[in-house]
Amino acid sequence: MRLLCLLLLLSLSFSYELLTPESAYKMALENNKEILRLKHQIEAMDIDYELAQKYYLPVVYAGANLLYSFDKRDLKVETNLSVVSVLYEFQKTKSRIEISKIKRALAQLMMEQLKKDIQLRIIKLFAQAHVYKKLAEVKREEMAVAFVRFDRARERKELGLATDYEVAHLESIYREKRMELMKAQHLYNQSLLEIKRTVGLSYEVTIDLSPIPLTSVERDKFKELMELALKENTNLRMKDLEIKAYDEDLRMVGQTLSPSVSLKLSTNRSGLEISTPIFDTSKGYRIDYLLSLRRSAEVERRRLEDDIKLIFFNAPYELEYLKAKLEYARSRDRFMEENLMLRRSEYELELAFDLGNAMAEKSEAERQLLEAIYGITLFWAQLYNLAGKDPLLVLRD
């Protein structure tokens, strides 16, 4: 009874979470460090946009003049307090507000894309963890078979029926399988830790992962998704905003006559002040500089379009390969199932003793099948992400 109570207390002292891809994403929205960092950046852009719209906010200046009169031989001190409010700057005010608005829109697009990237990362990590877990099962069975052979060789050696060479050889195989098991377990645990980091869970929390829902294989959406990607891809939309920002900069720099109207209230004089530059020697250089950056952004946008088209034109061939890989994995799994049944019957009739090998081979076939299925799921999730859709929709479509 005491032992049972102790085990119960120990179990309660450790947190436990059963995660699905959807629940993991909800946690990430609240706790992921990248999302939290970008939220603060968006707050900063909101403040900057609000400030750009309140360009007229006054600035208070305080000044003092020390004046020495050589005729009167005395020193005079003049103090001045003034309030200056820029009421409007032709073209510059409008462009500054628009550029601030573009910066805010860029930050919001970055947030949208980050959320999609995290969804894709969660799907990848879930798939990776399940495959590594199955790999650890395979390596555990292979290690068990190798240990039995090694142990029997030691027994035969004691009876003079095996050499030191044979024992050493079988021990090296057993140690190799044990090392491979440790590596598989390490990769599985590393995937779990990456999931905890992504969703913002403490590393001490024990988690278990639900299986990833299988996605449909017979799906031909390449043309539809490519058209959507050319309109909604986040990188393209961000590049469009970057080009738009350069256009606003060019409008601002291109204005030679840009009157500025200010209201000045001072202790010695007050009134409206209107001023405008009539010639700027650096104007041509600044226009050429901005035009070069704009052309660079346009070329980069065309390159991004080409990359998207390349991925979608290549996608049907990649999918055919993934389907072929899946069909092979299914046929191998069926064959290993039949092989396991045969070896089990032979083992029961004491005609053969390699049942352990057959079990390990069946587990490996199951791992390959799992990897092939998840490969197709990830394939569609990546295309969804490229098209500006939520990758998690793949698990429901």
Helix axes 21-31, 164-199, angle to 10 degrees: 60
Average pLDDT over the chain reads: 87
Listed in order, strand segments (DSSP E) in 91-155 are: none
For the segment 110-132, the average pLDDT, to the nearest whole number, is 96
**Residue 218 pLDDT:** 55
C-alpha to C-alpha distances, 213 to 126, 142, 205, 259, 262, nearest whole angstrom: 11, 29, 24, 63, 64
Rounded Cα distance between 307 and 324, Å, is 25
d(CA 319, CA 379): 8
* For the chain, the helix, strand and coil percentages under 3-state DSSP, each to the nearest 5: 70, 10, 15
Cα separation of the two ends of the chain: 50
Residues 279-324: tens digit of each pLDDT: 777 788 889 999 999 999 999 999 999 999 999 999 999 999 999 9
CA distance 281 to 139: 74
State yes or no: pLDDT of 69 exceeds 70: no
- What was the pLDDT predicted at 14? 53
Domains of the chain, by residue range, sit at 15-255+264-395
* Of 77 and 227, the one with more pLDDT: 227
Phi-psi sector, 124: left (phi>0), alpha (psi -120 to 50), beta: alpha
Q: Which residue has the higher pLDDT, 217 or 165?
A: 165
- How far is the CA of 3 from the CAs of 11, 15, 68, in angstroms? 12, 20, 96
Q: CA 294: distance to chain centroid?
A: 28
3-state SS of 289-335 is: HHHHHHHHHHHHHHHHHHHHHHHHHHHHHHHHHHHHHHHHHHHHHHH
pTM of the entire structure?
0.85
Of the pLDDT bands very low, low, confident and very high (cuts 50, 70, 90), residue 8 is very low
Tokens of 177: 């399988």
Fold that domain 15-255+264-395 belongs to in CATH: Outer membrane efflux proteins (OEP) (1.20.1600)
Residue 94 has pLDDT above 50, yes or no: yes
Task: Give yes or no for residue 66 having a pLDDT over 80.
Answer: no
Q: Which residues fall within 8 angstroms of residue 274, CB to CB, at 6 or more apart?
A: 259, 260, 261, 262
When pLDDT is cut at 50, 70 and 90, the band that residue 206 belongs to is: very high
Residue 306 and residue 236 in contact, taking contact as beta carbons nearer than 8 Å: no
Nearest residue to 242 via CA among 191, 296, 181, 168: 296
Provide the pLDDT confidence category of residue 252 given band limits of 50, 70 and 90.
confident
